[in-house]
Homo-oligomer: A and B are copies of this chain.
């Protein structure tokens, strides 16, 4: 048993649309009166005591939700598995012998265990979507730029978004209504990205495709430019931004970074800007925005494989990361909202299916998830 909380700390609770609900926030979100440690012990002495809550928490407090604590994150949010050598690896209640996924690991674990009704996370390259899939939860990554990241640790700002996790789509939508207004259940035309399913392990592919049948989706080919082009556009841009945000801090003498994160920072330092990546990203964004402009949504598997057994380790994560990024980079590069839904499983281990909507279609995406409520198999 590893505690998903790094700090028990109560704020808020009152009248409003979220009255009576308890939530947790990843330890990247500032909470007034506490330090945001970002998953690293080196911040314990350095981090200022926040005097203001992160902006994204204010609508929740205003709606009467009660924060009960801050949750474990991968160190500097640099991880996809949730294995933090400093704070421990939170449990995955849906698959106890497997990792919970990261970097919003403690948020997912706290929701999956029932400790809270919902939890806030952040998603740059999959950090809400991956733990949602691994822990059998509903998780949303919002349209880039739509919810303020003020008071949240920056990681790669042109990709950083706020998101949250819940056990039921109704709860996911209820939180969303505080940010976006009314959510109406409605399933639009669904486009099934056949080549995205083809990237999965055979067992995940079969389970995901079987679950996808409920959507009566139209198959399309997504990666017209080739998967490698998508990854080659994502990788240098994200690493350059990571170097901008944390390079200076992370390379000061005496840092106690774990080997996995030190490797990421070293890679970020060594990654030259790729002039081709900027127009490439814009072209991918323009194509997907046009594809989804009529309100259609894209159906993909959230992650290519089952959560690895714990401890998974660094080498395992490096190999896993690139294959998962081929799926998660779609919404990240194109600034799009995405919801992971726990609609499939392999031998009882959760497998997430995802819908991606056009820009600013967050409420519509939550509405689409609502239509799946009664058929959820978890």
User: Interface on A for B, CB 8 Å cutoff?
Assistant: 16, 30, 48-55, 58-59, 61-63, 144-151, 154, 156-158, 178-181, 237, 240-241, 243-245, 247-249, 251, 273, 275, 278-279, 282-283, 285-286, 289, 335, 359-360
Chain B, Cβ-Cβ closest to A158? B148
Name the contact of A157 in the complex, choosing from B148, B178, B247, B279 (C-beta under 8 A). B148
Known: A55-B244, A59-B278, A62-B275. A158 touches B147 (CB 8 A): yes
A54, B240: Cα distance in complex, Å = 9
Report whether A150 and B156 are in contact in the complex, using a CB–CB cutoff of 8 Å.
yes
Q: Which 5 residue pairs across A and B have the least CB separation, nearest first?
A: A145-B145, A148-B158, A62-B275, A150-B244, A151-B244
Chain B residue contacts of A157, Cβ below 8 A: 55, 148-150
Count identical subunits in the complex.
2
Pair A178/B278 contact, Cβ less than 8 Å: yes
**Given A55-B158, A150-B244, do A180 and B145 touch, yes or no (CB 8 Å)?**
no
13 residue pairs bridging A and B, Cβ less than 8 Å apart: A51-B248, A52-B247, A55-B157, A55-B244, A59-B273, A62-B273, A63-B275, A147-B158, A150-B156, A150-B241, A150-B244, A179-B282, A285-B360
Q: A150-B244, A180-B279 are in contact. List 6 more A-B contacts (CB 8 A).
A: A49-B248, A58-B273, A146-B158, A147-B158, A148-B157, A150-B241
Chain B residues with CB under 8 Å of A180's CB are 279, 282
Q: List the B side residues contacting A16 at CB < 8 Å.
A: 275
Q: Which of A58, A243, A283, A360 has the most CB of B within 10 A?
A: A58
Q: A273 vs B178: C-alpha distance in the bound complex, in angstroms? A: 13
* Beta-carbon contact of B30 and A244 below 8 Å: yes
Of all chain B residues, the one with the shortest Cβ separation from A17 is B275
Q: A55 to chain B: which residues have CB within 8 Å?
A: 157-158, 240-241, 244
In the bound complex, residues from chain B placing their C-beta under 8 Å from that of A158 are: 55, 145-150
Q: CA separation between A249 and B47, bound complex, in Å?
A: 12
Measured CA separation A157–B241 after assembly (Å):
16
User: Contact at A248–B48, with CB atoms within 8 Å?
Assistant: yes
Residue among A53, A54, A144, A157 with most chain B CB within 10 A: A157
Distance, CA A375 to CA B48, complexed state (A): 53
Closest chain B CB from A64 CB (angstroms): 10
Q: How far does the Cβ of A78 sit from chain B's closest Cβ, in whole Å?
A: 15
Q: State whether B150 touches A154 (Cβ < 8 A).
A: yes
User: Residues of B contacting A63 with CB < 8 Å?
Assistant: 275
Chain B residue numbers with a CB within 8 Å of A286 are 360
Which residue in B54, B251, B278 is a CB contact (below 8 Å) of A179? B278
Chain B contacts of A282 at CB under 8 A? 179-181
Residue of B nearest to A151 (CB): B244
Complex contact A273–B61 (CB within 8 A): yes
Determine which of B181, B241, B245, B273 lies in contact with A279 in the assembled complex, contact meaning CB atoms within 8 Å.
Answer: B181
When distances are taken between beta carbons in the complex, the residues of chain B under 8 Å from A156 are: 148, 150
A204→B36 CA distance, assembly (Å): 48
Shortest distance in angstroms between A30's beta carbon and chain B's nearest beta carbon? 7
